[in-house]
């Protein structure tokens, strides 16, 4: 088996695409992109929500 794949290899079953074989580095980059997208979506959700966060200085004053 070749250690480097050029284009992704598409596996077809019954005339329909069923799976894809990717170079491991391309796969890792794809996973990283998905994780980054999920992080951005979560950040947008947090920014839109209301929170009860306190400034660090305020929190420290309450604890002293």
Output the pLDDT for position 5. Answer: 56
Q: Tell me the CA distances in angstroms from 44 to 3, 14, 47, 48, one per residue in order.
A: 40, 41, 5, 6
pLDDT number for residue 1:
47
Which pLDDT value is given to residue 4? 53
Q: How confident is the model at residue 55, as a pLDDT?
A: 86
Could you tell me the mean pLDDT of each successive run of 10 residues in the chain, 64 residues long? Answer: 70 97 95 97 88 85 86
């Amino acid at each position: 088996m070749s250690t480097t794949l050029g284009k992704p290899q598409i596996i077809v079953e019954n005339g329909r695409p069923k799976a894809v074989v990717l170079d491991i580095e391309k796969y890792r980059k794809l996973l990283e992109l998905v994780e980054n997208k999920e992080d951005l979506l979560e950040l947008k959700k947090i920014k839109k929500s209301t929170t009860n966060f306190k400034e660090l200085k305020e929190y420290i004053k309450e604890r002293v």
